[in-house]
Amino acid sequence: MRTQVVLDDDKMTVAYTADLTSLADKAKAMSSAGDVGTKDMKLAMEVHDFHVYAYMNKRGITYDQFWQDPQHLKNLLNDPDNADFRIWKGRV
């Protein structure tokens, strides 16, 4: 992940960028190979910090709020925008 900080007068902008191609490729390979976990515990997605931060920014929540409410993780895992990172394709 790359972080860019831009200072303009009294305003600071922070931008994060990441190339997650290899992570998406890994998820696709695992899914194709059937490496989706067990009957009782599915491996739903390869999650990078970038996914969590993007979700938090989109929803306007803090890191603590994300982890304290299990619905946030479910929403992240079921988000169609993250389909390339899904391993087990079922609904969480």
Which residues constitute the domain of residue 61?
A: 20-85
Of 7, 14, 24, give the one whose Cα is nearest residue 53. Answer: 14
Instruction: Please tell me the total count of domains within the chain.
Output: 1
Report if residue 39 sits inside a domain: yes
Of 8, 81, 3, give the one whose Cα is nearest residue 45. Answer: 81
Report if residue 4 sits inside a domain: no
Round to whole Å and give the CA distance between 49 and 76.
Answer: 12
Using the 8-state DSSP alphabet, how is residue 37 labeled?
B
Q: What is the pTM of this model?
A: 0.80
Round to whole Å and give the CA distance between 46 and 83.
Answer: 10
pLDDT in tens, the chain (92 residues): 788 999 998 999 988 888 999 999 999 999 999 999 999 999 999 999 989 999 999 999 999 999 999 999 999 999 999 999 999 999 99
Q: What integer pLDDT is reported at residue 15 of this predicted model?
A: 85
Report if residue 37 sits inside a domain: yes
Report if residue 34 sits inside a domain: yes
